[in-house]
Amino acid sequence: MEAGVVTTDSVLPKSTPDGVRSPGSATAPTGRPRDRRIDAAILDAARELVVQVGYPSLSLAAIADRAGTTTAAIYRRWSGKAEVVHDAVFPPTVVGTVPPPTGDVESDVRRRVEIARDLLATPEVLAALPGLIADMTADRELHARVMARFGDIFTTQAHDETDQRAAVGDDVLLETVIGATMFRLLVRPDAAVDAIWVDELTALVVRGVGSG
């Protein structure tokens, strides 16, 4: 491995700052500049392990070991397992893939249905989501963060707000699309989430958006 390059299954050199260690070494002193390579290694480790062992069995110690760092380094970045896994399986870069509304209700809704499907259908999300949902009920801050991440996809309404026919707001659009997608993937895992399903859910939502 080249010096300073982080891979998911490797450990970082002892000289790397911010709490990185080789197995058995002591934690590095705190107060050093934050190393973004460690962030990436932790998130990569969490993403892989949640698929391999499942959310309930996943521990911060296992994530730290896989990332070649310490649990202390994780706690300097996240409050606990739920936040680490949330950031690992719902990367903020997904928001950048959402195009602005075009004014074509059907096209805009379809694109958001596709984004919700693609976001939720990954192996890591399917492995993490039931546990995250359970933890969200007990952690209002985590709940707000997760909803904000999803909300960023739906904050710009797919309909023209000047259109008096538009009776469905962003919250309902979010709940309908995300809820239907989650139900399909988690409760009916053998059911297809193909283009036909996207068309059917889009048609259902568009009728609601255009009703009034």
- Which CATH number fits the domain that encloses residue 168? 1.10.357
Please determine, for residue 26, whether its predicted confidence score (pLDDT) is greater than 60.
Answer: no
User: Distance between CA atoms of 66 and 75, rounded to whole angstroms?
Assistant: 16
Tell me the percentage of the chain whose pLDDT exceeds 70.
68
Say yes or no: 205 and 105 in one domain.
yes
Same-domain status, 107 and 67: no
More confident residue, 32 or 190: 190
Co-location of 99 and 164 in the same domain: yes
Q: How many domains is the chain partitioned into structurally?
A: 2
Same domain, 99 and 187: yes
Are residues 202 and 181 located together in one domain of the fold?
yes
User: Are residues 183 and 81 part of one domain?
Assistant: no
* 76 and 125 assigned to the same domain: no
CATH number, domain at 46?
A: 1.10.357.10
Overall average pLDDT of the 169-191 stretch = 84
- 64 with 147, same domain: the answer is no
Q: What is the pLDDT of residues 43-68, one digit of tens each?
A: 999 999 999 999 999 999 999 999 99
Query: pLDDT tens digit string along 81-140?
Result: 999 999 999 887 665 566 777 778 888 888 889 988 988 899 999 999 999 888 888 888
The whole domain housing 142 covers 92-209
Radius of gyration (C-alpha) of the chain in whole angstroms: 20
Residue pLDDT, tens place only, 154-165: 654 444 444 444
The pTM score is 0.69
- What is the C-alpha to C-alpha distance for residues 159 and 168, in angstroms, rounded to an integer? 9
